Amino acid sequence: MPLLVMKFGGTSVGDLARIQNAARKVQREVERGYDVIVIVSAMSGKTNELVGWVEQTSPMFDAREYDAVVSSGENVTAGLMALTLQEMDVPARSWQGWQVPILTTSAHSAARFLDIPRENIDAKFAEGFKVAVVAGFQGVSPEGRITTLGRGGSDTTAVAFAAAFGAERCDIYTDVDGIYTTDPRISSKARKLDKIAFEEMLELASLGAKVLQTRSVELAMRYKVRLRVLSSFEDTDESSGTIVCDEEEIMESKVVSGVAYSRDEAKMTLVTIEDRPGIAAAIFGPLAEAGVNVDMIVQNISERDYDDHPGAVTDMTFSCPVNQIPRARKAMEDARAAGIINYDDLAVDTDVAKVSVVGIGMRSHAGVAATMFKALAAENINIKVIATSEIKISVLIDRKYMELAVQALHDAFELEKSA
């Protein structure tokens, strides 16, 4: 029997009416001949409520008990979904993470998968059950404790089950009807993509697109799991949504597939540091140890001598998420106090945004950077930092120009047109 994995996020199961709507979509796939594994999130708002309760009860909480509480939201949804399906005469059974079992590491609130044995769920399918409703976001550690996977973990759970069970496809139901060339709220010309390559989706997810969680895309790319992103709130068929797949499945694509943005960026500059071998390691080693996610890096080379700084000096600029500024600042201050580095000042600019263009077509086409920079220059948008990869170009600009930059780039690459 062919098998399908279907994942429903928090807004898709936000109340009993929405659970019934999701259950009808599952029923339709069963009627088409599929066995179905349904991965569910907690009802919208429930996880935040549970986290709040934990923090009010114990500000310095035990991570094991945090996971025990926070994972309960998915358990409730799984049970309600199974009951709803049973009322529709669809043979269904709910599963918590420990019952599957979903085996994970012991890193509470940030666990990673070790294994998903198939035997228990396969046995239920053999008995005649058609649907296994599994609580997403959770697993069980080698010590037998409940673990959680971090925010967005239900997406990752769905992809992991699709890989473990050899599913034909993994459908991610959410509150949008697919992947767009950019955020439709910013550009009215944004176009829904029929297909997008894993690598492009991974870049878009890591650059700020919120539709799929980054870890889930990484896992899908590693195990070649075909994903489909589609809306929970619209009537859908086999052609609905956007397929995330191997590059080989896309016959011909545009040079640039999408424009992504992130408001939550900060630019930090170490002013007047020594220009010597090993200085980058001395800076970014402590930042890595402090868990700071550094993205864009620019070293401003200078051969000038200053009276109080004999020898060559330079400035080092990097970007990181805004919420990691205190961690980054402390890491640099500690490194200076320990004599690892020396600098005159640490300048922080939080009034910036990152805008990126992404496309696998960049590998074989020249001129993408020139087109991007020309479009920004035409709008008098100054570029502060540039970073590139094989299929991405990102720039850091003043935040007030972010929406204008997204619209200008979308127009410059004519993303409203299909390939």
- Is 211 labelled a binding residue? yes
- Is 10 labelled a binding residue? yes
Cβ atoms 114, 50 nearer than 8 A: no
Nearest by Cα to 297 from 386, 358, 208, 357: 386
**AA letter at 115:** D
Helix count (H) and strand count (E) of the chain?
12, 18
Token couple for 168:
């034909």
Q: What is the largest CA-CA distance in the chain?
A: 83
Cα–Cα distance for residue pair 100/120, rounded to 1 Å = 6
CA distances from 266 to 221, 321, 350, 351 (A): 30, 6, 5, 7
- Is 344 labelled a binding residue? no
Task: Give the length of the chain.
Answer: 419
- Is 185 labelled a binding residue? yes
Nearest by Cα to 401 from 379, 416, 375: 379
Cα–Cα distance for residue pair 30/90, rounded to 1 Å = 8
- Is 47 labelled a binding residue? yes
**AA letter at 324:** Q
CB atoms closer than 10 angstroms to residue 245: 21
Cα–Cα distance for residue pair 204/214, rounded to 1 Å = 9
Cβ atoms 357, 322 nearer than 8 A: no
Nearest 5°: CA angle at 384, between 378 and 387? 100
Alpha helices per DSSP H over 128-210: 153-165, 198-206
- Is 291 labelled a binding residue? no
- Is 74 labelled a binding residue? yes
- Is 9 labelled a binding residue? yes
- Is 180 labelled a binding residue? yes
- Is 210 labelled a binding residue? yes
Cα–Cα distance for residue pair 303/305, rounded to 1 Å = 7
- Is 34 labelled a binding residue? no
Cβ atoms 72, 136 nearer than 8 A: no
Binding-site residues, please? 7-10, 47, 74, 174-175, 180, 185, 210-211
Binding-site residues for ATP, please? 7-10, 174-175, 180, 185, 210-211
Binding-site residues for substrate, please? 47, 74
